[in-house]
Structure 1
Amino acid sequence: MSWTDVMDTYTTAEEAPSQTEPRERARSLRAPEVTSTVHAGAFRHVVSVLEGAGLDPRPLLAAAGASETDLVDPDLRVPMARYVALWRIAAPRFPKGSLGLTFGASFELDHGNLLTYMAAHAATLGEAVLQADRYRHLVHEMLLPALDLEGGDACLRRVLHPSIGRIGAMAESIAATWVKSLSIYVGEAFRPREIWFQHPAPRDLRPYDEAFGCPVRFEMPETRMITDREELERPLRLANPRLRAYLEEQARIQLDSLPHENGLADRVRRLLVEELRGGAPSQDHIARRLALSPRTLQRRLKDEGVVFNDLLDEQRRALCDRYLQDRSLSIQEIAFLLGYTERSSFYRAFRRWTGGTPLELRKVDRDETGRSL
């Protein structure tokens, strides 16, 4: 079975990843809030890298509001805010180059977790990436990539919350871990075509050339790794269908047991923001992203007093208000970024929201403020 066959189990033809890159000005998309928890294994890996560089992690952990007891239980989950704080505190104190690049280069399978092992036993690279995306909440949604297909390109991407995107070392650790884990999976050095980061470029770019072996671009709208689409067909050296199926069942059990601090509705809202690019994500598609059945998603949203279509409409309206403030975006571009394939559909929705049209709203603002939005 090819990775594309696997992908069909996650998405229908109408819900396949977008083939069109949104305008770079879509960088204003609302990023996920830094909430919930992260797998303690990620915490332990940072500590081991710090110790390997001769640093005492205890005062750094204390400054981040954590302690060594947070690392004892391999199944423990630690508040994401502490993990981010540890990176913010430790990165400028790291004595040997980039903490993030060192973190990624030192990654091994035994540093991972259930999701890492499950991906390693997939049949192809594409299948591994899709499964990592589907169960990313076992680690944390911001630390694992979503897959986009754009022509002949395959793009692993993640829009990082600004508080993470500004911590260059943390963003670099994410991309470096992607590259190292894919190298382990295929059994040889994996070299992407291009890497993007959201933070400014450092003075010395040589470590990045050595780490990635490809052009690296900074101050981009998202963290991204670009490779050839055909790379997704590469077989994995540890492919084992029976073991992978068993591990996936365990992943489902763990995912279902995770506490949802901000409720399922908030998770759906964050996914809708990610997915609204040239087509409205369906409830079935969002359910698959959450590793839930559509019926379970519908039931759990109902328990929280909301329905999927209302959440979709809510996110579109909120983003529309922001996009209209950017005069450089045309109405057609705004419609695309909100997931409307036809301008007329966008106009009908906008009239339902406001009673007017987007152009009328821009004209009113210009008349009242004397400036153009």
Structure 2
Amino acid sequence: MAANGLEPEWLLREAGLPAWSLDDGDVQIPSSVYCRLWEVAGKALDDPILPVRVGCRFTLGAGGLCDYLFSTSATIGEGLATVGPYISDISTNHRLSFTEEDNGDVTVGFEIVEGDDRARDLTHLWGVSSLLGRPRRVAAGGFDAVRVRLRQRAPRNYTDMYDLLGTRAIEFGASEDSITLRGADLDTPLTTADPVLRRILEQIAATVPPPPPLATAWVDRVAETLADALDAGDVSLDAVARRLTVSRRTLQRRLLESGTTWRQELDRARLERLRRADAHGERLGLARQAELLGYAGPESVRRASRRWESFAHRQVMYGASHGAS
């Protein structure tokens, strides 16, 4: 997106991502934020098919282990067969299906686990195009899609998709999101094939545990630790990170992966502490609130209360799992 003239810092702010997230190559972000990035950039560039343009320029390696399992495969078909089982290395919010047609062609279906129609439309545009962009980087010969089916309505100015995807057989308003590839193209060798390295990577992949539920266990741990830190009178980011025996960066990253932030969880803990004190009938003047919540004085409580009014309307329920990308 930056290569198309957008300022990365502005994009991050508009999408609600902290700037440090770009410094950590191992961070996953909530899929809602991922979708927001597409929306912000597409509007700024006045380009409704931006995910297709970016996906067709796929940089091999961006998908981590999944990409390297693909690139060391013997053929396009063998490589694509690794994408489904290891898709969670890229996103926990997507499922892929592979169906062999009667004529030998293969249809790859896309489905997001959580998200509204707009999130689905944008992420599936990316999915369709990256499924072509990835093998095009390393295939010994060129190839295009046979057919593309999308549930979304036709965007305006989508004719560039014909050249990007290599087919005019693009059906909008379909019953599914999918891309069909020629069976013969799946036998195309990959220039990066490496059977020895492939076996090593498969052994490594077999030892990698499945991704943990992002929105439950870690947030619960932070909530418990924040409650203890409030009792002790030190709720700084560094103090809570020490209690959890992680670095401050790891703490921030884990919270981001869970769809929340340090500031949100600190506000949540302080609001809960106030509720408990109020439920016990304690007199809660501003001075007492400052003491309970670890603030320097009443003025800090006044400033925080204005933020809490907004926060109270957007609290997140953590009972359900949330996908990440």
TM-score (norm 1): 0.52
Structure 1 residues 142 and 192: CA distance shift in structure 2, 3 A: farther
The alpha-carbon deviation at position 94 of structure 1 amounts to: 2.1
- 2:48, 2:31 → 1: CA distance? 25
1:180-199 to structure 2, matched below 5 A, reads: 180-199=133-152
Residue type of the alignment partner of 2:186: L
Structure 1 residues 189 and 67: CA distance shift in structure 2, 3 A: farther
Contact 1:154/1:227 (<8 A) preserved = yes
Q: Which residue of 2 aligns with 1:217?
A: 171
The alpha-carbon deviation at position 138 of structure 1 amounts to: 0.8
- 1:74, 1:183 → 2: CA distance? 24
The gaps in structure 2 that reach 5 residues or longer are: 217-325
The one of 201, 213, 220 aligned to 1:260: 213
The one of 66, 82, 106 aligned to 1:115: 66
- 2:137, 2:15 → 1: CA distance? 31
The one of 179, 185, 191 aligned to 1:231: 185
Contact 1:159/1:221 (<8 A) preserved = no
My pick for the range that moved more, 56-65 or 196-205, is 56-65
Q: Quick check: 1:131 aligned with 2:82? A: yes
The alpha-carbon deviation at position 110 of structure 1 amounts to: 4.0
My pick for the range that moved more, 206-215 or 168-177, is 168-177
Q: Which residue of 2 aligns with 1:106?
A: 57
The alignment partner of 1:148 has SS state of: strand
My pick for the range that moved more, 116-125 or 53-62, is 53-62
- 1:213, 1:257 → 2: CA distance? 35
- 1:179, 1:223 → 2: CA distance? 15
- 2:204, 2:143 → 1: CA distance? 28
Q: Which residue of 2 aligns with 1:307?
A: none
The alpha-carbon deviation at position 87 of structure 1 amounts to: 2.0
Q: Quick check: 1:173 aligned with 2:126? A: yes
Q: Quick check: 1:77 aligned with 2:31? A: no
Structure 1 residues 143 and 179: CA distance shift in structure 2, 3 A: farther
- 1:161, 1:89 → 2: CA distance? 22
The alignment partner of 1:157 has SS state of: strand
Cα deviations by residue, 1:230-271 (Å, 9 ceiling, x for unpaired): 3322222211111111122222333x06213479xxxxxxxx
Q: Quick check: 1:56 aligned with 2:7? A: yes
Residue type of the alignment partner of 2:60: L
Q: Which residue of 2 aligns with 1:358?
A: none
Between Structure 1 and Structure 2, how many residues are aligned? 213
Q: Quick check: 1:151 aligned with 2:105? A: no
Q: Which residue of 2 aligns with 1:335?
A: none
- 1:237, 1:146 → 2: CA distance? 26
Structure 1 residues 175 and 135: CA distance shift in structure 2, 3 A: same
Q: Report sequence identity in percent.
A: 23
1:1-373 to structure 2, matched below 5 A, reads: 50-95=1-46, 98-143=49-94, 145-152=96-103, 153-160=105-112, 163=115, 165-167=117-119, 168-214=121-167, 215-254=169-208, 256=209, 258-261=211-214
Structure 1 residues 251 and 94: CA distance shift in structure 2, 3 A: farther
The alignment partner of 2:74 has SS state of: coil
The gaps in structure 1 that reach 5 residues or longer are: 1-49, 264-373
Contact 1:182/1:190 (<8 A) preserved = no
Residue type of the alignment partner of 2:30: P
Cα deviations by residue, 1:19-58 (Å, 9 ceiling, x for unpaired): xxxxxxxxxxxxxxxxxxxxxxxxxxxxxxx211111132
Cα deviations by residue, 1:317-359 (Å, 9 ceiling, x for unpaired): xxxxxxxxxxxxxxxxxxxxxxxxxxxxxxxxxxxxxxxxxxx
- 1:203, 1:95 → 2: CA distance? 10
4+ residue runs over 3 A deviation: 141-145, 160-165, 167-170
- 2:114, 2:154 → 1: CA distance? 16
- 1:110, 1:138 → 2: CA distance? 12
RMSD: 2.4
Contact 1:53/1:95 (<8 A) preserved = no
The alignment partner of 1:251 has SS state of: helix
Cα deviations by residue, 1:111-165 (Å, 9 ceiling, x for unpaired): 3411111111111222211111111111115556321112122101112458464
- 2:53, 2:211 → 1: CA distance? 30
- 1:59, 1:79 → 2: CA distance? 18
